[in-house]
């Protein structure tokens, strides 16, 4: 599991940074990647990345401001030309379906894969045997959501040597034992999962927030997360402007990370006024003064999400 940022700017792109887009790469877990927001130019950023559009499985849009979704119609259209023929599901706030269908209809764009658009008002928006994704409404000028991606605990490894001793070969019985069930060995011995199953692997939690002021929902989504991705549009000297425009400062992001008990904080969504290394260093220092394990997201860098 890795994070890969393809846009870290707020509002408009700059020569240094593109507008918001973030991939959660899940190659080991499900041989795919998920995309969180899709600002203008995202498909160009993907061309410069180790990602392949054919492996895109889900898109999660935080809110309907242009810097978070203007790249979506082009990406949807291009995906088919880059080998994408598997289903694609796009999640986001109310109005997302009308936006996508209108653009595709007026541009007479045709796609040759199954696409579902799921509008939500928060709660559990996705769940399968491996992951659950929860969403909650944040505090922004328009409905903006944060997402909590929960990897479910994985069963430990089976003691194959011991199973061989019991006469149990790979097959359906392995599956039952991994699910915690007891099975009958060929010699009629009852084998309990606890005897042959190692310690389970605890799942990871990644929280990715949309644009927001500090709010309780952000803290709930981030509680005990392994990684928190939080907007950091301004330095705290501009806290008044941040509040007026429904954004957060670096200090406020760090305070959220500390209060929620996360392990690592990634800052993104920087105002285009911050261009040089000195200014970016100030953002880093402001957050680190409160929460040490802070990283300023850099585009086209892979960040592993460790267990």
Chain centroid, CA 181 distance in Å: 33
The answer to whether 192 is a known ligand-binding residue is: no
The answer to whether 306 is a known ligand-binding residue is: no
- Identify the DSSP state of 30: H
Question: Which one from 67, 153, 159, 293 is the annotated catalytic residue?
Answer: 67
- Identify the DSSP state of 157: -
Three-class SS state of 220: helix
**d(C-alpha 178, C-alpha 182), whole Å:** 10
The answer to whether 243 is a known ligand-binding residue is: no
In angstroms, what CA-CA distances link 57 with 60, 108, 173? 10, 23, 31
The answer to whether 281 is a known ligand-binding residue is: no
Q: Residue 282: count other Cβ atoms within 10 Å of its Cβ.
A: 15
The reply to whether 121 belongs to the active site is no
Contacts of 105 (CB under 8 A, 6+ apart): none
Identify the helix (H) or strand (E) that includes residue 277. helix 277-288
The answer to whether 67 is a known ligand-binding residue is: yes
**d(C-alpha 93, C-alpha 221), whole Å:** 17
The answer to whether 121 is a known ligand-binding residue is: no
Is the separation of the CB atoms in 243 and 213 below 8 Å? yes
The answer to whether 269 is a known ligand-binding residue is: yes
| Residues annotated in a binding site | 63, 65, 67-68, 140, 211, 269
The residues annotated with a catalytic role in the active site are 67
| Residues annotated in a binding site for Zn(2+) | 63, 65, 67-68, 140, 211, 269
């Amino acid at each position: 599991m890795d994070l890969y940022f393809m846009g870290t700017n707020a509002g408009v792109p700059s020569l240094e940074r593109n507008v918001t887009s973030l991939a959660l790469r899940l190659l080991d877990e499900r041989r795919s990647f998920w995309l969180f927001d899709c600002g203008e130019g995202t498909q160009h950023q993907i061309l410069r990345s180790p990602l392949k559009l054919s492996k895109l499985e889900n898109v999660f849009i935080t809110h309907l401001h242009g810097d978070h979704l203007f790249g979506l119609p082009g990406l949807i259209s291009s995906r088919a030309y880059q080998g994408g023929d598997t289903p694609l599901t796009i999640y986001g706030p109310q109005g997302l379906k009308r936006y996508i269908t209108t653009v595709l209809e007026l541009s007479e764009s045709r796609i040759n894969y199954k696409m579902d658009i799921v509008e939500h008002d928060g709660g559990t928006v996705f769940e399968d045997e491996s992951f659950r994704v929860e969403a909650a409404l944040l505090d922004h000028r328009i409905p903006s959501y944060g997402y909590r991606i929960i990897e479910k605990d994985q069963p430990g490894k089976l003691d194959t040597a011991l199973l061989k001793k019991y006469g149990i070969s790979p097959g359906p019985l392995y599956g039952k034992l991994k699910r915690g069930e007891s099975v009958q060995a060929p010699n009629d011995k009852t084998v309990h999962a606890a005897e042959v199953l190692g310690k389970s692997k605890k799942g990871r939690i990644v929280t990715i927030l949309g644009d927001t002021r500090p709010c309780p929902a952000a803290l709930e989504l981030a509680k005990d997360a392994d990684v928190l991705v939080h907007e950091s549009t301004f330095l705290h000297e501009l806290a008044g402007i941040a509040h007026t425009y429904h954004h957060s400062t670096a200090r406020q992001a760090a305070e959220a990370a500390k209060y929620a008990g996360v392990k690592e904080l990634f800052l993104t969504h920087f105002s285009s006024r911050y261009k040089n290394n000195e200014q970016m260093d100030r953002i880093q220092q402001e957050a680190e003064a409160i929460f040490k394990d802070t990283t300023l997201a850099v585009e086209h860098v892979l960040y592993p999400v460790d267990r």
